[in-house]
Amino acid sequence: QGKRGTADIVLYDRDQVAHPAHWLMVQTELRHALERDELVLHYQPKVRLADDGISGLEALVRWQHPSRGLLSPAEFLPAAEQSGLIEPLTAWVLRRALDDQAGWTALGQQWPVAVNVSARNLEAPGFPRVVAALVAEHGTPSGRLLLEVTETALAGDAATAADAVVELTALGIGVSVDDFGIGFTSLSQLRSVPVAEVKIDRSFVTDLDTDAPNQAIVRSVIALAHGLGLRVTAEGVETPAVSAWLAEAGCDDAQGYLFARPTAWPHLLDLYLNPRGS
Ligand code: C2E
Ligand code: CA
Ligand code: CA
Ligand code: CA
């Protein structure tokens, strides 16, 4: 288990121990980045396997660093999470995502937007209120904002996290269990927390057309999730063979480079409103 997903986490932890000075610098710079609006959001569509329609866009944060270029979240999120900057960062992402959504809605696209939130956000007592205020400010209809939360965020000492999910759900905000399958504590958690969707981790998806153990796992996740009334999304779909296997297995949605890489949202509008050959 844990080909890529878990390996990443180990790597960040090692970095933090090895380079505390570098890490402090990232925190200081990130604080400035938030003030100077240097972060950007790219969006990746979530595609319905049944008809290839878009069922939503996931916001993925990047940092347009003045000297180091476009940085991926792996290069600054760990520092943000450890320092408490994740709270203003998530608030920034939510606001920008809802602003961008107003843009595509005005152009006639009703796409829901999904925002990734950290365990630390979910455990902060005021978090549902912060989200409620942003949603009220934007007039976001029920079901149009989803929050993606990792399985481990729900699985730990999860009383606050579970309460937050209940509150968010009551506000019409769906909660999605991200990186599903690598935590192993999932079944009982899914029963007690009102989540709307599970996203199967990429480590199970990459070789799905040929890897028998992953096929068995994914089939049972789909059956479990559907039995609980949840939608299932597979992430990291890169080949037509994997997409076809997932459609056959009854998976609802898929995301991955096969359909589109994360990009600024107007490009997605081009891609889907002016498809090649029309
Ligand atoms: P994630 O939520 O699991 O997001 C999926 C990651 O896989 C993204 O990496 C995406 O660019 C990448 N990806 C999508 N399709 C494919 C594919 O077909 N193949 C491969 N190999 N990769 C694919 P990214 O953008 O670097 O984000 C990494 C992680 O950082 C995310 O994983 C998420 O946990 C976190 N993250 C991203 N944006 C935010 C944010 O705004 N807030 C928080 N708290 N976390 C974020
Ligand atoms: Ca995600
Ligand atoms: Ca994910
Ligand atoms: Ca993942």
Q: What is the ipTM of this complex?
A: 0.97
| Distance in Å, CA 38 to ligand 3 centroid | 24
| Distance in Å, CA 114 to ligand 2 centroid | 8
Per the CB < 8 A criterion, the answer to whether 250 and 231 are in contact is: no
Q: Give yes or no for residue 244 having a pLDDT over 80.
A: yes
Q: Give yes or no for residue 12 having a pLDDT over 80.
A: no
Q: Which residue has the higher pLDDT, 185 or 173?
A: 173
| Distance in Å, CA 179 to ligand 1 centroid | 10
State the residue for tokens 């920034």: 92
Percentage of the chain surpassing pLDDT 90? Answer: 71
Q: Which residues line ligand 1 (CB under 6 A)?
A: 44, 59-61, 72-74, 77, 90, 93, 116-118, 148, 178-179, 235-238, 255-257, 262
Mean pLDDT of 77-105: 95
Return the pLDDT at 151: 82
| Distance in Å, CA 44 to ligand 2 centroid | 10
- pLDDT class of 18 with cuts at 50, 70, 90: low
DSSP 156: S
User: What residue owns the CA closest to ligand 1's atom 21?
Assistant: 236
Rounded to two decimals, what is the model's pTM?
A: 0.91
